[in-house]
Chain A
Amino acid sequence: MKCPACRVPMYVAEYRQIELDLCGQCEGVWFDRGELSLLLGDDRPLAVTAAVSEEATRTCPLCDKPMDKVNIGPDRRVVVDHCPQDCGLWFDATEVAALTGELDAAGWGLPPAVFDFLREMFPAKGGK
Chain B
Amino acid sequence: MWEQIAANRRKSIGLVISAALLLGALGWAGGEYFLGQGGGTGGVLIALVVWLVMTLAAWFQGDSIMLSVAGAHRVQKEDLPQLFNVVEEMTLASGLSKMPAVYVIDDPAPNAFAAGRRPENAAVAVTSGLLRTLDRDELQGVIAHEMAHVRNRDIQLMLFAGVLAGAIVILAETGLRGMWLGGGRSRSRRDGGSDGNGLVAILAVVLMILAPILAQLIYFAVSRKREYLADASAASFTRYPEGLASALEKISRAPQRLGGATSATAPMYIINPLKRNGQMAANGTSTHPPIDERIRILRSMAGAGFADYDRSYREVTKRGGVIPGSALKDAETGQTARSTGATPAPSTRENARKVDDFFYRRDGYRKVECACGTTLRIPADFATPAAKCPRCGALHDLR
Task: List the interface of chain A (C-beta within 8 A of B).
Answer: 8-15, 17-20, 22, 24-25, 27, 29, 32-34, 37-38, 41, 43, 45, 62-63, 85-87, 120-124
Contacts and interface: CB of A to CB of B under 8 A. Distances in A.
Across chains A and B, which 4 residue pairs bring their CB atoms closest together, nearest first?
A: A24-B384, A17-B349, A12-B377, A86-B255
B379 interface: yes
A55 B256 CA distance: 26
B382 A13 contact: no
Interface residues of B, number: 36
B132 A38 contact: yes
B349 A11 contact: no
Interface of B: 108, 129, 132-133, 250, 253-257, 348-350, 352-353, 356, 360, 365, 373-379, 381-384, 387-393
B250 A43 contact: yes
Nearest to A20: B390
A69 B375 CA distance: 30
Nearest to B128: A34
B373 A15 contact: yes
Contacts of B352: 17, 34, 38
Contact of A43 (B133, B375, B388, B392): B133
Given A13-B389, A14-B353, A17-B353, A33 B255 contact: yes
A34 to B, nearest CB: 5
B355 to A, nearest CB: 10
Contacts of A9: 379, 381-383
A33 B382 contact: no
Contact of B377 (A14, A37, A63): A14
B49 to A, nearest CB: 42
Nearest to B396: A11
Contacts of A8: 383
B391 A11 contact: no
A23 B253 CA distance: 30
Contacts of A10: 379
Given A13-B376, A18-B349, A43-B253, A121 B384 contact: no
B256 to A, nearest CB: 7
Nearest to B374: A15
A25 B383 CA distance: 9
Given A9-B381, A12-B377, A38-B348, A24 B387 contact: yes
A45 B356 CA distance: 22
Contact of B382 (A11, A38, A87, A123): A11
